[in-house]
Each structure stands twice: as C-alpha cells, then as structure tokens.
C-alpha cells in the first residue's frame, strides 16, 4: 500500500479510538456502561443498528457474490422492513418498559430461570463463535491480498475494538459505529464512482448493465416458490422475516442497541431507519460486484483472484490440470469479449436480431468463463483441502488494490476494518452484558456494588475479546469452520424467536412449555439441516418458530390440565 493509504487507515483508527471514548459519559455506573443511561438519540442508535449488522463478511462476500452470481442475494432482506414494523409495535415498547438489561432477563420474569439461562447460553455460544468468524474472514482476505501477517491482522482489528468497548462501554460502541457507518458508505460510494468512471471508452453504464443483464446478474427478484433455492422472493419475504425478527428482536447484540435510546419512540425510530435504508444500501453492495463483472469483461482478470492459492496449485501435482483450465479460460474470455463488442455495436445500430444473437453468444461465453473458474476453484479445494474456499471473496479487495487510485485504497481498507470492528465491538459489548447480567449477577454474586459489576463487565469484555481472537486464528487455518459456525448459529435463530413468541403472545404458555419447546425446536432444525440439506437455510427459521410454538403450547396446555 502507498504511504498515503497507510495515512488514511491510521487516521481512521485515531478518529475512532479518540472520539468514541471522548463521547462516553457516566460509564462508572452499570446502567451507563451497558445502556448509556437510555440517553442516545434515535439516529445514532439507528446507525449503530445498521453498522452492527453490516460486517466485513457482508461487504467483501456480497460484492464477490454480485460478481459471480448477481443481485439475487438482495432477496434476503425483503422481510426486513416488515420485521422492523412488527418489532416496533411489539418488542421495543415491551423490553424498554420492562427496564431489562438483556432480552433473556425478561424470560425469567415471564417463565423461569432455566429458560432464561438456556437462551442466554445459546446466545453466548453462537455469538461468541460468530464474533471470531467476523474477525477471521476479512483478516484472511487482507493478509492474502497484502501479504500481511495473519495473527497481526486479526489483532489489528480485534485489539482496538476490544479497547474502546472495554473503556467506554455501549456509548463508545455506538459513537464509533456512527463514524464507522460513514466510512463504510463513503468507501462503497467511492467504489461505485471509480467503477463507473473506469468503464472503457465506448461502453456506457447502460451498456455495462445490459451485459450484466444478459447473464442474469441483474435478476434481483425470483418469484418461483422453491424450498431448495436459497434466495427467492418468498424465502426472503417469509424466511427472511423470521430471521430478521429473531436477529433484531431476540439477539442481545441488537436488542441492546434500541435499549440505549432516549424513549420508546426513539427506539422505534432507530429500527425504522433500517426499514427505510437497509434495502437501498444492500442494492448498492452487490451492484459493486455486478459492475466489477462488467469491468472485467474488458480488462484482463486472473483466473484465480487469490494469488497465494494460485501459486500453491502451480507448485502441486495438479499444476498440469490448472494450466489446461487456464487455457480454456483464456479462450472463453476472448470469445466473451468479442460477443460483448458485437452486442454493444448491434444495440447502438438498433439491429435487434443481431443484438439477440450477440447477447446469446455473450451469455454462452460467460457460462464458459464461469465453468473454468469453477474448475479452478475445485482444483484449489482438492490441493488445499479447504472445501469452503470461495475465490469470489478476493475479487473486491483485488480490484481495490489494483485499480483504485491512491487514497481511495486506504478509504476502502478502512471501510473493511470499520465493517468488521463495528460488528465485533457491538457483539463483545452484548456478550459482556449477558455474561454479567444473566450469569454472574444472577447465579453467582447477587448483591454487590456498581463498581464490582463494572469490573466484572470489563473482565468479561476482555475475556470475550481474547476468545474471539483465538477463534479467529483457528478459523483462519480451518476454513470450513466458519461455515460450521454460521450453520451452528442458524440452528438457534428460529427457536429463540419461538420462545419470545410464546412469552409475549401466548398467555397460557408456561415455563416448562417454553423450555421443552425450545429444545424441540433446536432438535427439529438440526434434523432438517442435517437430514434434509436440500431445504434452504432461510426456511430453518420458520421450522424453528413453528415447532417451538406448537410444542410449547401443547406442553403448557397438558401441564395445566394435569394441575
């Protein structure tokens, strides 16, 4: 990286660390440290909600997906606005007025201590592991692209995030999130501008989008109803609705955001900010990938964007196979480029029949390019043993470092750091809160001073930070582990939502009903995920909620009848 880019990244770190801590007040009280004394404005909380959800995995992975497959991933968010309305009407006023620190604390008041403890434990397990994954994925990518030392990259993201979270609590996290969100949006906007300006002369933005459209990459809405396809309109609207209800309404890393707002109304407004802005923001992220696809139709691109893996394959016994695939790739790229030129020329002349033929040839050429990339990825997986390897994760960072101007490279790298750190900090803060409130204060030391619990919270933040860094380093060496962590988390989302549906919506539900329902829901999702792998993961959330509510109601009713 150029010294100017290093300066931009250093400026980002200095800004986040000093300003985040400077804005923290009354963090010597438990309520100030965990809930900012319920004093934060809706717009700051709203930006924090968005920054917490948008991790570096989203930023780098979704641009890569846009490059490889297109806009279909956007459908994941179609249920989000509806989820935010439902949560604003139900959960926000409920938790806020219950004056709880954690969502799970309420479950003890409504049911019993074992239901509270189990749900909080599931949160700690899944969120603690995911915190490591959030640190690991961008660290691996940046260390490959820049040849950085991996443990140092993990620590460069992890230590500052732990530092300001530990010192300033939720206030430092929120004010850092606000700035990080601006850095992320600036980075995304810069990438779009550079990509559009960088299209070769003679290719307009409309022409580039027609090329992407010819390959189906602009197909953002798929109305087919299929349990097998991961992203369709219906899986996004229904499965995505349940996922978002669970994530924003029952996951402490998000619940803690709106509990810091000044009032119920400000808490609601903070969620509704995402309801308005999330889909437009998520349109832009895969659109960067689509524009990179159009860009690389005209500009030479490597067969594999991960240079380290490419070198390893060339030095392996499969080198001959790789060279053969590379030859096919170069032929396919040349054929695709000729078809693209023919398509653009026919369109500008208004020759419809000719344009249709060239468009079909272009789509055929692109399919051949995709086949070559898939074959190369398969060779990498065989050689490295990393079954989850996806080369598209390296497309955006490679584009940034090879085609973006000095200064903007630093901005995008800062945006990747910001996306990762904002998520990690909010997760660490919520992990510490649940550890102290749901376990330490509830089960071990019930009566102690604020200073005592504050010290415990800081130890918990540091402990979870160390845990996340260790998981990140292990996950980096065992690629598929990230996949396992994500699947592990998805086992619980729908089931935990089911418990809260019982708590808030079913008057007759009992503690035993909720507890048995939760176990049954997790078992049902685990069964579906392992025995029926063809069912897309978004539907797991629906399965979890339905099983928990049904079993919970049946057990509760039978218990009342017994009495």
Partner 1 sequence: MTSPEGSTAGGREPADRPMGAIYVSVIVVEIITLLALWWFQTTFGRP
Contacts 24+ apart (CB under 8 A), 273-278: 273/42, 273/43, 273/46, 273/47, 273/49, 273/50, 274/46, 274/49, 274/50, 274/53, 274/80, 274/84, 274/248, 275/80, 275/81, 275/84, 275/85, 276/81, 277/50, 278/50, 278/53, 278/77, 278/80, 278/81
394 binds partner 1 (CB under 8 A): no
Q: Please give the structure tokens belonging to residue 41.
A: 């404005």
**Applying CB under 8 A, which of residues 200, 405, 505, 533 lies at the interface with partner 1?**
505
Which range, of 126-134, 217-225, 249-257, 404-412, touches partner 1 by CB under 8 A? 217-225
Residue 205 Cβ, how far from partner 1 at the closest point, in Å? 10
**Applying CB under 8 A, which of residues 82, 227, 284, 308 lies at the interface with partner 1?**
82
Give me Rg for the CA atoms of the chain.
25
345 binds partner 1 (CB under 8 A): no
280 binds partner 1 (CB under 8 A): yes
Which range, of 142-150, 186-194, 299-307, 499-507, touches partner 1 by CB under 8 A? 499-507
Integer Cα distance of 80 and 82 in angstroms: 5
116 binds partner 1 (CB under 8 A): no
Query: Is 228 or 352 the residue whose CB approaches partner 1 more closely?
Result: 352
Q: Please give the structure tokens belonging to residue 521.
A: 């829901």
Query: Is 309 or 359 the residue whose CB approaches partner 1 more closely?
Result: 359
- Please list every residue from 225 through 264 that binds partner 1, using CB under 8 A: 263-264
Integer Cα distance of 295 and 292 in angstroms: 5
67 binds partner 1 (CB under 8 A): no
Of 169, 161, 174, give the one whose Cα is nearest residue 262.
174
Q: Count of CB atoms within 10 A of residue 206's CB? A: 9
- DSSP structural state of residue 200: P
- Listed in sequence order, the residues at least 6 apart from 341 whose beta carbon sits closer than 8 Å to its beta carbon are none
Which range, of 74-82, 119-127, 180-188, 426-434, touches partner 1 by CB under 8 A? 74-82
Q: Please give the structure tokens belonging to residue 390.
A: 């996806």
Which range, of 29-37, 50-58, 207-215, 551-559, touches partner 1 by CB under 8 A? 207-215
CB 396 within 8 A of CB 292: yes
3-state secondary structure of 36: helix
Which range, of 24-32, 266-274, 427-435, 448-456, touches partner 1 by CB under 8 A? 266-274
Residue 507 Cβ, how far from partner 1 at the closest point, in Å? 6
Binding letters toward partner 1, positions 83-112, x by CB under 8 A: -xx--xxx--xxx-xxx------x--xx--
Partners of residue 40 on adjacent β-strands: 261
Query: Is 70 or 494 the residue whose CB approaches partner 1 more closely?
Result: 70
41 binds partner 1 (CB under 8 A): no
Which range, of 148-156, 183-191, 383-391, 504-512, touches partner 1 by CB under 8 A? 504-512
Of 283, 254, 279, give the one whose Cα is nearest residue 267.
254
**Applying CB under 8 A, which of residues 192, 196, 279, 345 lies at the interface with partner 1?**
279
Query: Is 217 or 458 the residue whose CB approaches partner 1 more closely?
Result: 217
Integer Cα distance of 294 and 72 in angstroms: 17
Q: Count of CB atoms within 10 A of residue 212's CB? A: 23
50 binds partner 1 (CB under 8 A): no
212 binds partner 1 (CB under 8 A): yes
| Residues of this chain that bind partner 1 (CB under 8 A) | 71, 74, 78, 81-82, 84-85, 88-90, 93-95, 97-99, 106, 109-110, 206, 209-210, 212-214, 216, 218-221, 263-265, 268-269, 272, 275-276, 279-280, 283, 347, 352, 355-356, 359, 503-505, 507
């Amino acid at each position: 990286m150029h010294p100017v880019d290093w300066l931009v990244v250093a400026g980002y770190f200095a800004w986040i660390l000093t300003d985040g801590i400077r804005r923290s007040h009354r963090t010597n009280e438990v309520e100030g440290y965990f809930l900012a004394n319920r004093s934060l404005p809706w717009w700051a909380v709203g930006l924090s909600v968005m920054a917490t959800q948008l991790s570096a995995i989203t930023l780098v992975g979704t641009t890569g997906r846009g490059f490889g497959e297109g806009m279909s991933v956007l459908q994941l968010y179609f249920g989000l606005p509806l989820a935010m309305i439902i949560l604003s009407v139900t959960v926000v006023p409920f938790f806020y007025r219950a004056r709880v620190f954690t969502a799970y604390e309420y479950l003890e008041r409504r049911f019993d201590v074992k239901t509270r403890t189990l749900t909080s434990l599931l949160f700690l397990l899944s969120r603690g592991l995911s915190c490591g994954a959030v640190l690991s994925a961008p660290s691996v990518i940046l260390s490959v692209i820049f040849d950085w030392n991996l443990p140092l990259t993990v620590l460069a993201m992890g230590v500052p995030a732990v530092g300001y979270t530990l010192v300033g609590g939720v206030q430092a996290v929120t004010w850092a999130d606000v700035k990080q969100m601006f850095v992320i949006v600036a980075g995304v906007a810069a990438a779009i501008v550079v990509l559009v300006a960088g299209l070769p002369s003679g290719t307009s933005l409309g022409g580039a989008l027609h090329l992407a459209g010819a390959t189906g990459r602009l197909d953002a809405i798929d109305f087919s109803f299929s349990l097998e396809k991961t992203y369709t309109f219906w899986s996004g609207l229904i499965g995505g609705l349940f996922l978002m209800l669970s994530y924003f309404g029952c996951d402490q890393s998000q619940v803690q955001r709106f509990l810091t707002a000044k009032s119920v109304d400000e808490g609601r407004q903070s969620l509704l900010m995402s309801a308005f802005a999330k889909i437009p923001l998520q349109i832009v992220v895969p659109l960067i990938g689509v524009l990179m696809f159009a860009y690389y139709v005209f500009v030479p691109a490597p067969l594999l964007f991960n240079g380290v893996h490419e070198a390893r394959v060339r030095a392996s016994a499969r080198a001959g196979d790789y060279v053969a695939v590379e030859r096919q790739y170069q032929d396919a790229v040349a054929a695709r480029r000729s078809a693209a030129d023919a398509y653009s020329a026919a369109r500008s002349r208004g020759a419809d029949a000719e344009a249709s033929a060239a468009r079909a040839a272009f789509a055929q050429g692109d399919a051949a390019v995709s086949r070559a990339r898939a074959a190369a990825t398969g060779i990498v997986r065989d050689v490295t043993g990393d079954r989850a390897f996806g080369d598209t994760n390296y497309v955006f960072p490679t584009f940034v470092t090879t085609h973006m101007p000095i200064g903007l490279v630093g901005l995008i790298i800062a945006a990747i750091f910001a996306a990762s750190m904002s998520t990690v900090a909010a997760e660490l803060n919520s992990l510490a809160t649940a550890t102290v409130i749901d376990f330490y204060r509830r089960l071990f030391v019930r009566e102690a001073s604020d200073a005592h619990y504050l010290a415990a919270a800081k130890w918990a933040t540091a402990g979870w930070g160390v845990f996340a860094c260790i998981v990140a380093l292990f996950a980096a060496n065992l690629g598929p582990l990230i996949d396992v962590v994500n699947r592990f988390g998805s086992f619980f989302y729908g089931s935990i939502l089911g418990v809260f549906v019982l708590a808030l919506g079913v008057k007759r539900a009992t503690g035993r009903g909720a507890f048995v329902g939760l176990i049954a829901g997790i078992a049902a999702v685990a069964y579906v995920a392992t025995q029926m792998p063809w069912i897309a993961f978004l539907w797991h959330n629906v399965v979890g909620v339905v099983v928990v509510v049904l079993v919970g109601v049946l057990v509760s009713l039978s218990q009342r009848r017994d009495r």
